Chain A
């Protein structure tokens, strides 16, 4: 019986030996306090909420126009403090897609924990930087529909504003005010075979009057406004009739849009 007992004891001891159950060492959180921010995207024309699909707007070039679609990317949103420190929004995502026809894209509940305190301003990249704007980065709708053809530089559109305008003869024509990677052509003939260089047209935006504060465990809601009419004025007057409908292969037109973009974005309510 002793031997049998010893065998059973051996089994039990073996079980304990195999079961190398260990206790998890929980690392306490660092002692800093954080809150959250959420961006809401507002689209205005001439200071009023966008009313799409209505031929009611007149730009600085006196084009009567309507807007049907607005889609764009902003990326690398950075929060600036007065002491020079910054917080780059990138813990989960660093590129946000906005589409006026998809309500869920009009709000961005930022994943990142934001240190509490006062922030001086907000900046971001309009479009996507060269490093990140690679073809096949997005394979699913809606972002994939922003694809920019490889032969024109690849990656994705920074922005699409689609609509129509009345030309000088009151003929309604469609425009595709699209921004993305531009091309330089060897000749005046716009053929893909004559492309000799590409131009990155993304640009940085520093939102004026965008100071805000973050309180512990609270969410600060910040409205980012795109003043669509500003794409067509200051410093350059953009004339649809002059530039024509599509500008994907028209770097001078995209360059003008890029230079007009400096004051397109402002901040709305901060709550």
Chain B
């Protein structure tokens, strides 16, 4: 392993030494990340933009898988796909993941088999924008970051045109095939885009360890289709209507107690845009949307099905809208808007036990007509003052929640679950300043406060294994919002001859951090087969996140391209209770000081080297990823350490002509047996779910 590392470091140094002076493009490309020059220089926080071209250049099975290639973005793997993004250690509702600049999807699955990123396919996207920290407030409350998944929009043409795209992909190991088609066109008044895709993957095998591989039940079938239609009312106004569906069938999750039998998601939205309305009001954007998820999961593909059957059926509906005005007064850019979101969730789990020749069936509410409403007002400002750029935003949210839950859980005067209604007013705000020290170097300091109210799961879930461990979790209707107070310091350097780089350090102090504690079995018993006990979501006083990331990219004009990224986050909780478990029994508890937060990814770095042959038509690329061991693990949560690993990938992109391009390669060339720290454990064992071993892939893109 060390030899490999030395070899690549040597190559890296030789390649850097060989770089010749050329003009710097106004775009910097990091590994899988594109950051524009303007963003680099002016924005006081870290914002990563990923273009469609970059997404097409690597092999991904879902959006979450792709997001893991962005610095300080990790993912939680529970099966073959639907990887749940984690940004700087923040996850789930700590991240605001939206589609098309504001459309939200409430995941149907309490186990998060279907995070928002699982409801859209990579091929549908035109851009991904990841903002780390609570800095982008016009998409809704943001605590740890915002991920905006922008799908391809149709656009008008001077005269009628029609175009088409087709993509075919295949990868070995899990016999994965995917197809995607799109048809788009229109004229200056009416334009459209229709698309659809299908992907079917089998079970994948891990890399070899001692000559042996392990095959996991990770197969899945997914398909999606949709249509967008636009109408240019006049030169200043337009309307865009969109409808799409995504479906999953028999999506297996070996790290969860159940598999996804079916997932049917419908998304519809209507956008109105106006520009240059007055001298001051430059833009008006209005969006309304509705997303509807029906999620059915069971354990019918597990051995336990014969004696104990679990079926969960959940409906989740998110309806909302937003309006935002963009204004400009001299060199002052202002924005102001409001948004609203109504989340409805209802679901039951049916358990059937077959024992002693008899059958017992019971229905449990997972959610009982639960409702969360959030209304927000927000405003933003930015302006340049000579070498300084100021950026600021504020947001005020009114958050209300209620449920028709009838569960009352009170013992010894302690209300564990009672009175489901709650209401909060949350304030978020941020301010940042960028100083251009020289033409090539800038420094930014940004402070932010982001508050988010507890989500559906944290408030109302009833007894399902939804955490990283195998415990059943119980919601807590009386949870308070959690608030992230964050400081970011960013240094950016851009030079025509040397390339561009940035270094960012951040510190987050999360007040009323939402964690979970074990509940006594005398209060409540688990309802999920295999769950050793019950945990309930609670606010703990605080938790802190510290970390840094850096990125370097060589000038794009060079034939030789080099990219380096590195990132680490360190999460800590000052005081937490550890329950002593002896022979399966809780026999006591102790207080742990300065414990690690669970599910924080370790340090990792990636070096990518490519060379542009034939004027960029043929581009081979090597990518070497080195991940350190994660030894800073939560003692209170009995979190195991994870060994480090390194993998090497190779790909080659060939643009045959304007109609055909091919991308092929091999991931995990040395068939390394490894798992990410955030990968969940296989149900019924202490073994983690390993990542796929060596995979050969080829993608063919056709366009007319």
Contact = CB atoms under 8 A, between A and B. Distances in A.
B433 A92 contact: no
Interface stretch (B124-132, B202-210, B274-282, B528-536): B528-536
B528 A147 contact: no
A139 interface: yes
A199 interface: no
Please report whether the interface of chain B is mostly helix, strand, loop or mixed according to DSSP.
Answer: strand
A166 to B, nearest CB: 26
Interface in B291-342: 308
Contacts of A8: 433, 445
A149 B583 contact: no
A93 B358 CA distance: 29
A139 B388 contact: no
Contacts of B358: 149-151
Given A93-B521, A111-B587, A139 B526 contact: yes
B33 interface: no
Interface stretch (B153-161, B349-357, B610-618): B349-357
A147 B435 CA distance: 70
Nearest to B448: A18
A28 interface: no
A147 B355 contact: yes
Interface string B448-460: 1100000000000
Contact of A11 (B429, B433, B483, B585): B433
Nearest to A76: B522
B31 to A, nearest CB: 31
B584 interface: yes
A108 B530 CA distance: 21
Interface in A135-152: 135-140, 144-145, 147, 149-151
B527 A18 contact: no
Contacts of B521: 92-95
B431 A14 contact: yes
Nearest to B355: A147
A140 B541 contact: no
A190 interface: no
A168 interface: no
Nearest to A16: B447
B485 A19 contact: yes
Contacts of B531: 139-140
Contacts of B527: 136, 139
B227 interface: no
B586 A147 contact: no
Contacts, number: 112
A94 B523 CA distance: 9
Contacts of A92: 520-522, 586
A138 B522 contact: no
A32 interface: no
A15 interface: yes
A19 B351 CA distance: 47
A11 B489 CA distance: 12
Given A93-B522, A109-B582, A111-B586, A7 B509 contact: no
A106 to B, nearest CB: 10
Given A18-B449, A140-B531, A109 B585 contact: yes
Contacts of A48: none
A21 B509 contact: yes
A33 interface: no
Contacts of A4: 385, 388, 435
Contact of B353 (A10, A107, A136): A136
B18 interface: no
Given A140-B531, A147-B353, A154 B509 contact: no
B588 interface: yes
Nearest to B526: A139
A170 interface: no
Which residue of A18, A93, A140 has the most chain B CB atoms within 10 A of its CB atom?
A18
By size class, the interface of chain A is 35 or more
B390 interface: yes
Which of A3, A11, A91, A144 neighbours the largest number of chain B CB atoms within 10 Å of its CB? A11
Given A4-B388, A136-B353, A139-B351, A109 B587 contact: yes
A7 B522 contact: no
A81 B20 CA distance: 88
A104 B585 contact: yes
B528 A139 contact: yes
Contact of A7 (B357, B390, B487, B583): B390
A167 B529 CA distance: 41
Interface string A1-38: 00110011011001100111110100000000000100
Which of B435, B483, B525 gathers the greatest number of chain A CB atoms within 10 Å?
Answer: B525
A10 B485 CA distance: 16
B164 to A, nearest CB: 51
B511 interface: yes
A114 B582 CA distance: 19
A194 interface: no
B541 A24 contact: yes
A209 interface: no
Contacts of B589: 111
A93 B355 contact: no
A93 B526 contact: no
Given A7-B433, A8-B433, A136 B448 contact: no
B362 interface: yes
Nearest to B386: A4
A90 interface: yes
A14 B447 contact: yes
Interface in B588-608: 588-589
B390 A91 contact: no
Contacts of B388: 4, 7
B686 interface: no
B657 interface: no
Contact of A91 (B357, B483, B522, B582): B522
A15 B351 contact: no
A245 B522 CA distance: 34
Nearest to A89: B522
Interface string B464-488: 0000000000000000000101010
B522 A94 contact: yes
Given A7-B388, A138-B525, A149 B360 contact: yes
Residue among A15, A24, A95 having the largest count of chain B Cβ atoms under 10 Å? A15
A246 to B, nearest CB: 11
Contact of A135 (B360, B448, B529, B585): B360
Given A18-B429, A135-B362, A93 B584 contact: no
A152 to B, nearest CB: 8
Contacts of A3: 385
Interface in A145-189: 145, 147, 149-151, 154
Contacts of A36: 588
Given A18-B485, A92-B586, A109-B582, A11 B445 contact: yes
Contact of A147 (B360, B385, B483): B360
Contacts of B532: 140
Contacts of A110: 587
Contacts of A109: 582, 585, 587-588
Most A CB within 10 A of own CB, among B388, B521, B528: B521
27 contacts: A4-B435, A7-B385, A7-B388, A11-B432, A15-B487, A18-B429, A18-B449, A20-B485, A21-B509, A93-B521, A104-B585, A107-B583, A108-B585, A111-B587, A111-B589, A136-B362, A136-B527, A138-B525, A139-B353, A139-B528, A139-B529, A147-B353, A147-B355, A149-B355, A149-B357, A150-B360, A151-B358
Given A7-B390, A14-B447, 17 more contacts: A4-B385, A18-B448, A24-B575, A92-B586, A111-B586, A111-B589, A136-B353, A136-B360, A139-B308, A139-B351, A139-B353, A140-B526, A140-B531, A149-B357, A149-B360, A150-B360, A154-B360
The 5 closest A-B pairs by CB, nearest first: A104-B583, A109-B587, A149-B358, A15-B447, A18-B449
Interface of A: 3-4, 7-8, 10-11, 14-15, 18-22, 24, 36, 90-95, 104, 107-111, 135-140, 144-145, 147, 149-151, 154
